[in-house]
Structure 1
């Protein structure tokens, strides 16, 4: 039996060029560092088209149909890429999917029908509850896998042979800068839609707290609005899209990482923000609008989502003594112990060996 990982990654230097998610690529790379997969294949999201820049990556084989070179035809490219993957997967293999989506659903069906000895498993990172038939189908497929690793314990996920692990960190022995002095500076990063970051609320809130600094990295949906704020308020700094090394520089210079997901949106109960695990690994202090049972035993601040409540909570945090705040920082060792890739490999083995 071979263990196969089917994901959506490119080498680090191409991630921004093809507009892939840094968080998604980093998650896959972290999982791959444990050497738990015999083979890794990547399929690109539908928006990636044209000729792919040549690259060498011994850890990952890109499956990329020529149909992506021809405008509208790229929409059916995943069907042909799934056929290619079907031919590469052998009977009795164990396949792990990065989510269940339009990019791999046809392959899942093909393997179920024609290679039923293949154990199909899903790592469910992102799911948005929706009334659309296609999204309900993806959830149905996910819930009919042999096994599942989920980042959140939503009642929508019904696979018994499963475990909840909110993230993965590499087992590389690296040490990360610790917070020594707690500057009153906060970072929001990644997807900046209001359902994910509540950016509009953050801009209004920090415009009323000139003594505190807000750093923003990522692509804002309304750049014009962000620029209006940064022109008026010197404590709001918009870095835009940055390379990963620059993001780490900003992260290491900023003690607080904001995770301001709107709890009213159902998708935020079905996933877990990878930025939180990454920031904990890098010893940052987490400020979250959602309580996460997955982080039991890890210290982080919980704040309100109403702007007045949020301002009150953030100001209370900023007035706390450094000795008290440091207790919420420098928790890298806990994250490494609980979520390192060795733990993931052990759980993948248990799930594969499970007999219904």
Structure 2
């Protein structure tokens, strides 16, 4: 496999439950996992904090701490750091970027045009492709100069301008071990960013009247205040609905492993989900859960997940049908899904795809 000299992303290695502003738990975990699997020696991570500064961690990560309100100071800090890199003159031939944004674009320009490095972009957030802002158009143009792209879902628009593209919506371990004994029948998990566009109200509205099912909710409020979130939970308070808060990874996996179903309820009319990638769905499937999704994903075959409309009626029809399916049939669906994602999205597959992108 080609050696990757440098990862440039926005992650934070810490045991704390709280992450810097702008970093999701899923994105943070994904980058740390990629760094470990690909055995990347050094990384540069751009994060938000109170004071502009640069510091090195004990795990060979250089953190560039930016302030959300001080754009000029942020730019100056990055330019100073790049000048320092230039003086060291280390030959980074293969550089992996996690997403592109207006700040790490400075590093992209430096490594592409000055250091003549091969740059592969792991594109998890492609929202700027449909935005009209000047900054978004600049980022879209920059992608044309990358050596290759690893996207988390198929994006037809990119195929028109970039031929070196690999698609991989998630990473799963071949060593995951789950059996039907782990699962509690009729338990349902809703996890992640908890907002209206992500199905929070839809799920609560349906399950608070469905005592045959037990709904577990984990994650953080999305596009609403804590008080609004708490008010919604109070309104739909029910014995069969439990909000577990933000869990550490081990506790989250315990809940995931014991649940039979996982929900992915994204509003298909919301433009923010246009390039949504099924990494959470892949994770759910890898732990033997049956996934109910409001979106169709070309990266997954139809037989391994259930679809529903983003409506109360659609969700009701879906779970009414589920109650008519035997436990043995449910286990068959879950096992097929698990086998599919392990064979298509394993760590070895990631290494092969990255290697292909960095090859001449």
TM-score between both structures, scaled by the size of structure 1: 0.85
- Equivalent in the alignment of 1:103: 103
1:338: Cα distance to partner? Answer: 1.4
- Equivalent in the alignment of 1:184: 186
**Correspondence list, 1:132-281, <5 A:** 132-157=133-158, 158-170=161-173, 174-180=175-181, 181=183, 183-195=185-197, 197-220=198-221, 221=224, 222-231=228-237, 233-281=238-286
Partner Cα separation in structure 2 for residue 306 and residue 225 of structure 1: 22
Q: Are 1:119 and 2:118 counterparts?
A: yes
1:333: Cα distance to partner? Answer: 4.0
- SS where residue 333 of structure 2 aligns? coil
More strand by share: 2
Partner Cα separation in structure 2 for residue 99 and residue 112 of structure 1: 15
Query: Which deviations, in whole Å up to 9, do the C-alpha atoms of 1:237-271 show, x marking residues without a partner?
Result: 11222222221222122111111112222332313
1:184: Cα distance to partner? Answer: 1.0
Partner Cα separation in structure 2 for residue 297 and residue 219 of structure 1: 30
- SS where residue 315 of structure 2 aligns? helix
Query: Which deviations, in whole Å up to 9, do the C-alpha atoms of 1:10-59 show, x marking residues without a partner?
Result: 22413525353221122112222323424222221x3x33599x99653x
Runs of at least 5 residues in structure 2 that lack an aligned partner in the other structure = none
Q: Are 1:300 and 2:305 counterparts?
A: yes
Partner Cα separation in structure 2 for residue 85 and residue 51 of structure 1: 15
Runs of at least 5 residues in structure 1 that lack an aligned partner in the other structure = none
Partner Cα separation in structure 1 for residue 135 and residue 63 of structure 2: 24
Partner Cα separation in structure 1 for residue 235 and residue 244 of structure 2: 13
- SS where residue 277 of structure 1 aligns? helix
**Correspondence list, 1:12-27, <5 A:** 12-18=14-20, 20-27=23-30
Q: Structure 2 vs 1, CA of residues 98 and 309 (structure 1 numbering), >3 Å: closer, same or farther?
A: same
8 Å CA contact retained: 1:3, 1:36: no
Partner Cα separation in structure 1 for residue 357 and residue 19 of structure 2: 36
Q: Are 1:282 and 2:287 counterparts?
A: yes
